[in-house]
Structure 1
Amino acid sequence: MRLTSFTDFGLRVLMRMAGSPDRAFTTAELADEFRVSRNHLAKVISALSAAGYLKTRRGGGGGAMLARRPETIRLGDVVAYLEADQVLVECFMPGGAACTLTPHCRLKARLAEAEAAFIADLNRSTLSDCVYQPPQP
């Protein structure tokens, strides 16, 4: 399974914030640290906020920080949320029956099971298992 860069950066944001859970991070600060576009990271932070993983505050002294304790955030749940619009194969799309094998395909169920197992395995870990703190200069 391949994760989108959106999900990759979502996990990075959460891991970084878990290293300093009482601190607010600005989008610009994280974008510079991760060497990614501020616009792209703003979308990631917005999605994480909408899911209840982050709380955000505008203005001076604002930024984003974890909305929940790291040990309550399951990695599989984060990945499933951020990848919700990405299907593993075309036939998983709503109305995606363009494949001529669809009526008799025996692969689709196995792929669905594998995807569920992937998320379940990730859910054995929480964000607290993956806390990141950058090296001090």
Structure 2
Amino acid sequence: MNLKKYTDYALRVLIFTGMKPEGELASIKEISETFSISQHHLSKIVFELNKLELLETIRGRNGGIRLAKKPEEINVGKVVRILEADTVLLECFNKETNHCVISPACKLKHVLNKALHSFFAVLEEYTIKDLIVNDHQLRELMGIQ
């Protein structure tokens, strides 16, 4: 399973904002500089995470972003499922574009489907809080005071 960069960056945004002391705002610029990701790309991600009610955005001179929920309330598996909703491992996973002649009898799609569900099941065991338990080391690496 290979996650899209979009999903990877979204998880980084959630981790970064989850590392901030409660109430403190992060900025897209700050996250961009920390992870060397384009601010434009991050803006799209922040917009979607805000629509999903995972981030709160505050406009204005002293604005920024912060988690809209507590880190322990943000399930990693659910976030990945939403952002990877269009996951198609094989052609046969999409009935509209499936041209595989063995598809009706093939067991591979069932095996991979089971593996995909197991992948998400493991991710659903974790929250953002679980990903930031080593906060001292993460703060140092990200330059967060």
Q: Which residue of 1 aligns with 2:139?
A: 134
Please tell me the root mean square deviation across aligned C-alpha atoms, in Å.
Answer: 1.6
Shift of 1:94: 5.0
Structure 1 spans left out of the alignment, 5+ residues? none
Shift of 1:29: 1.5
Q: Determine the C-alpha separation between the residues in 1 that align with 2:100 and 2:62.
A: 53
Q: Determine the C-alpha separation between the residues in 2 that align with 1:111 and 1:76.
A: 18
Superimposed CA distance per residue, residues 23-81 of structure 1 (whole angstroms, 9 cap, x where no aligned partner): 22121121111101111111111121111111112221111110111111111111111
Q: Which residue of 1 aligns with 2:6?
A: 6
Per mean C-alpha deviation after superposition, the further-off stretch among 65-74 and 92-101 is 92-101
Per mean C-alpha deviation after superposition, the further-off stretch among 95-104 and 3-12 is 95-104
Please state if 1:38 is matched with 2:39: yes
Q: Determine the C-alpha separation between the residues in 1 that align with 2:75 and 2:104.
A: 36
List aligned pairs for 1:10-25, cutoff 5 A.
10-20=10-20, 21-25=22-26
Structure number with greater CO (CA < 8 Å, separation at least 6) is 1
Identity of aligned residues (%): 36
Q: Which residue of 1 aligns with 2:56?
A: 55
Q: SS where residue 65 of structure 1 aligns?
A: strand
Q: Determine the C-alpha separation between the residues in 2 that align with 1:29 and 1:121.
A: 31
Q: After TM superposition, where is structure 1 displaced by more than 3 Å over at least 4 residues in a row?
A: none
Shift of 1:101: 2.0
Shift of 1:85: 2.5
Please report the TM-score for the alignment, with normalisation by the length of structure 1: 0.91
Please report the TM-score for the alignment, with normalisation by the length of structure 2: 0.86
Q: Which residue of 1 aligns with 2:88?
A: 87
Shift of 1:22: 2.0
Aligned length: 137
Q: Determine the C-alpha separation between the residues in 1 that align with 2:116 and 2:40.
A: 30
Structure 2 spans left out of the alignment, 5+ residues? none
